[in-house]
Structures are given as C-alpha cells and as structure tokens.
C-alpha cells in the first residue's frame, strides 16, 4: 500500500507539473530556444569562418535541448520568485491557484538542473560549468529579490540585474560550440552575437511591457520611460540588432535592415494612434524573421 501511495503521489505530481508546463511553457518558448541557439551558432560561424558554410551538428542539438530545459527551469523559478506579484496581476497562474505547488516546482527544477549538467558534460567540462553558472545565477537573483526591495519594484533596475543571465547563456552556446569544434575562436563573432541577441531580446521585452493604460502596481517600462520613450527604446534596440549584423557580419545585410520596417511600423502605429498597448505581434514577427534570416544566410 505504501508503494502504491508513493506511485500515486508521484503520478499526481507529474500530472500537475505537466499542466504547469502546458500553461506556462507554451510551444513558442521551445521554438524560441531552437531558433535562438541556431541563430547564435550560425551568426558566429558566418563571422569566424566565412568561407565555410555553417551546418548544425549533433552537439548543436544537445545545446538546443539544454537551453530549452534551462528556460523551463527559469520559468519555474520565476513563478516562485514572482508569486506575490502574480497574486495581484496574474491570479490565474498555476502556482497562484494551487494547480501546482512550490515544492513540486523545486523538485522538478532539481531534475532539470541535473539533466542540463549531464547533457552538457557530454559536450565538454566547460559546457557543464557554464550551464551551472546560468542555473546558479537564477537562484542568486531569487535570493537578491527577496532581500532587496528596489529590485522587486524598479523595472529598469530589475532588467539591469537579471539580463546578465542572457550573457551567460550566450557564452554557454559559443564556448561549448568552440569546445566541440563547431566554431573557430573569434572575438568579432562573439561581439556580433552578443549585440544582435541583446538587441532582439530587449526590443521584444520592452515592447511587450509598454502601454498607455497600466494597472496599478504593474512593472512596465512605460512607467519610468513614458509610453513614447519606451516605444522608441524598443525600436532603438531592434535597430541595434540589425545594424550590428550589417556592420559585423555583412553578407545579406540588407535583409536584417529591411526587417526594421516591422518594428518601425509598429512604433509609428502606437505613437500616432490611441492604441492602449504597444502591438506585440510585430515584435514577435521581427524576432522570428530576423533569427530565421540569420540561420538562412549562414547556411
């Protein structure tokens, strides 16, 4: 009976975690992990070894799996870190409603962390060390937010402290690819990938948190920057991504530059019409199309 009870409890927890993943880790998160890793490797290869067409390898597939699992780990961590905020602004989320427990999320995070480390060890020791740094930084951010109130209440300060985790993931992908022989060393390649990835991420992140009609207590970039300043900042970040490619990578540069028409049009629509929120679909389209373009150009 004891064994049956344990098995039943485990099945229940797995079902609850599956529900959490289905609700909070939708397919576009997985799609983003795939094209982000491919775009990073492809762009770095286009700079570091321009005379050799880039091709993804088995090691690339492992890196994609690790990044996808890491994003799920961070999603679970964020749900616990932001619980008080979500009780007010997102009362339908699984952790708030009790559809999953914090203990179940922590157990799942432990399994995900072990899986990321084990998979990364098949690539190189440095890969495992770097992904461990990503996971540890996430936990450190949680601890910092618990102890330092301004980090929970200032959206710009929070972005400045949390964004470096993106740099760690970029370092993981590039250095792991270097270890597995998929990339040649190049500081120019690392700079290009970092600037492009940063511009794309911040453009999307700022655009989705820009509105003229905020709810009290919402953490939005349009609070400290104003709706106009926030929208223009998102456009500036998109411009950074496209011009970084044109300047540091080169081939087919007109395509990333032409794609700037998408966020530019969205910004114009937001500023010249009484839209309550910055349109999000153009930000999604720019992200997907730019990364797919980078992959195609490298191939």
pLDDT in tens, 202-213: 999 999 999 988
pLDDT in tens, 84-139: 888 888 888 888 888 888 899 999 999 999 999 999 999 999 999 999 999 999 99
- For residues 270 and 264, give the distance between their C-alpha atoms in angstroms, rounded to a whole number: 10
- Identify the pLDDT of residue 2: 61
- For residues 200 and 241, give the distance between their C-alpha atoms in angstroms, rounded to a whole number: 6
Q: Give CATH for domain 15-46+53-180.
A: 1.10.357.140
pLDDT band at 40 (very low <50, low <70, confident <90, very high): very high
- For residues 264 and 243, give the distance between their C-alpha atoms in angstroms, rounded to a whole number: 14
DSSP 95: H
Q: Where are the domains of the chain?
A: 15-46+53-180, 186-299
Q: Is residue 46 within 8 Å of residue 249, measured between CB atoms? A: yes
Strand segments, DSSP code E, in the chain are: none
Torsion of CA 265, 268, 269, 271, to 10 degrees: 160
| Count of other CB atoms within 10 angstroms of residue 299 | 13
Mean pLDDT of 34-43: 95
Q: What is the percentage of the chain residues whose pLDDT exceeds 90? A: 65
pLDDT, averaged across the chain: 91
| Count of other CB atoms within 10 angstroms of residue 29 | 15
Q: Is residue 251 within 8 Å of residue 297, measured between CB atoms? A: yes
pLDDT band at 5 (very low <50, low <70, confident <90, very high): low
Token duo for residue 157: 């300060």
pLDDT in tens, 245-297: 999 987 778 899 999 999 999 999 999 988 889 999 999 999 999 999 999 98
**Number of residues in the chain:** 299
- For residues 172 and 151, give the distance between their C-alpha atoms in angstroms, rounded to a whole number: 26
pLDDT in tens, 139-183: 999 898 888 888 888 999 999 999 999 999 999 999 999 999 999
Q: Taking Cα atoms as reference points, which of 89, 87, 90, 179 lies closest to residue 131?
A: 179
Mean pLDDT of 223-244: 95
């Amino acid at each position: 009976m004891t064994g049956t009870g344990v098995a039943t409890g485990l099945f229940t927890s797995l079902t609850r975690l599956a529900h959490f993943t289905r609700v909070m880790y939708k397919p576009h998160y997985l799609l983003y992990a795939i094209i982000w890793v491919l775009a990073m490797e492809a762009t770095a290869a286009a700079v570091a070894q321009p005379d050799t067409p880039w091709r993804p390898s088995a090691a690339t597939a492992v890196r994609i799996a690790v990044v996808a699992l890491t994003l799920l780990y961070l999603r679970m961590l964020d749900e616990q870190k932001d619980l008080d905020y979500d009780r007010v602004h997102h009362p339908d989320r699984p952790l708030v409603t009790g559809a999953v427990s914090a203990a179940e999320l922590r157990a799942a995070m432990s399994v995900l962390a072990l899986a990321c480390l084990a998979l990364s060890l098949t690539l190189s020791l440095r890969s495992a060390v770097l992904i461990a740094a990503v996971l540890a930084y996430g936990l450190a951010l949680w601890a910092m937010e618990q102890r330092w109130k301004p980090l929970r209440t200032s959206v710009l300060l929070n972005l400045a402290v949390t964004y470096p985790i993106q740099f760690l993931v970029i370092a993981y992908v590039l250095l792991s690819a270097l270890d597995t022989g998929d990339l040649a060393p190049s500081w120019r390649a690392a700079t290009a990938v970092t600037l492009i990835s940063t511009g794309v991420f911040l453009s999307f992140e700022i655009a989705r948190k820009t509105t003229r009609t905020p709810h009290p207590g919402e953490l939005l970039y349009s609070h400290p920057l104003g709706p106009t300043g926030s929208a223009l900042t998102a456009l500036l970040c998109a411009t950074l991504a496209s011009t970084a490619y044109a300047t540091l990578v080169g081939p087919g540069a007109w395509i990333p530059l032409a794609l700037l028409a998408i966020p530019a049009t969205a910004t114009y629509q937001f500023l010249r019409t009484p839209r309550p929120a910055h349109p999000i679909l153009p930000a999604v389209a720019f992200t997907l199309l730019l990364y797919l373009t980078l992959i195609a150009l490298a191939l």
